[in-house]
Homo-oligomer: A and B are copies of this chain.
């Protein structure tokens, strides 16, 4: 297996810098006082398409040769990766094909179509997704860009932590959410190369705790149809992300659904920042004393801010 290294992240940062936003790092005195630690929020919810996913997708698209690029890129995802890939492809002037379940929410279709991707609908099963994707690739010759089990995607995701570490010195811990593990993997590679004393910890919903269980058992133990408000974290680790995380990540900490919603609301209320439920998981871990963080300096990668404003979890 071809596993990325820190040097790949440095190259990716250079490759994508014309396209991605250098997102701000925010702090909040009130929350610091609540948890008795110093928190630094790397706001990837302000990234283009509203999520860190744009980094990985851009890196993967720019890495293609001209010949490959001419045939386009494809993926199956209805989430932030699909929108990110659509915009990354448009920026390079190539086609993006996105396979989506026909019952996807309207807002998600809109987002992907709005960035100029071609949507191919399929039945809402994993099998239908995969066979439809295969057909698309066969027909078009497009390159499949997996949302996280992809060398260049992982490497791209690691550039957020690189910006954070360059801006904020001496972090004791960096927290990220973990779903498929792309962000956590990339972050851990960056930290190992740039700031090896900093600990990297993955934060996961209890209701979708495959990374926690996989690390414990030393093999990939996927979550089967997990139900969590953190819709970006329902996916399970893949072979590349499992390999990286097993080697570089200190620990996975899990937290319950209500705590995630409370943490999300607290960030909106106190920091005036719109974060999606998945992005609130590290904050929920910090607020609920799941870690010894007293007087520590903690970086949090705020993964995204794509939320349906007509349907907020605390109003249900």
Contacts and interface: CB of A to CB of B under 8 A. Distances in A.
A46 B305 CA distance: 16
A268 B275 CA distance: 10
Given A43-B272, A272-B274, A312-B312, 12 more contacts: A24-B24, A24-B26, A26-B46, A50-B272, A268-B274, A269-B309, A272-B275, A273-B274, A274-B274, A309-B312, A310-B315, A315-B315
A265 B46 contact: no
Most buried by B among A29, A50, A272, A310: A272
Contacts of A265: 309
Nearest to A47: B272
How many copies of this chain does the complex contain? 2
Interface in A27-79: 29, 43, 45-46, 48, 50
A7 interface: no
A309 B273 CA distance: 12
A314 interface: yes
A144 B46 CA distance: 40
A309 B274 contact: no
Contacts of A305: 272
A29 B48 contact: yes
Q: Which 6 A-B pairs have the closest CB atoms?
A: A272-B305, A272-B274, A45-B272, A24-B24, A268-B274, A46-B272
Interface size class of A (residues with CB under 8 A): 20 to 34
Interface string A292-316: 0000000000000100011010110
A272 B48 CA distance: 11
Interface string A250-286: 0000000000000001001101111100000000000
B314 A268 contact: no
Contacts of A314: 309-310
A46 B45 CA distance: 15
A1 B311 CA distance: 51
A74 B43 CA distance: 37
A314 B26 CA distance: 27
25 contacts: A24-B24, A24-B26, A26-B46, A29-B48, A43-B272, A45-B272, A46-B271, A46-B272, A50-B272, A265-B309, A268-B274, A268-B309, A269-B309, A272-B273, A272-B275, A272-B305, A273-B273, A273-B274, A274-B274, A309-B312, A309-B314, A310-B314, A310-B315, A312-B312, A315-B315
Nearest to A267: B274
Contacts of A50: 272
A314 B309 CA distance: 9
Interface string A10-29: 00000000000000101001
Interface string A210-246: 0000000000000000000000000000000000000
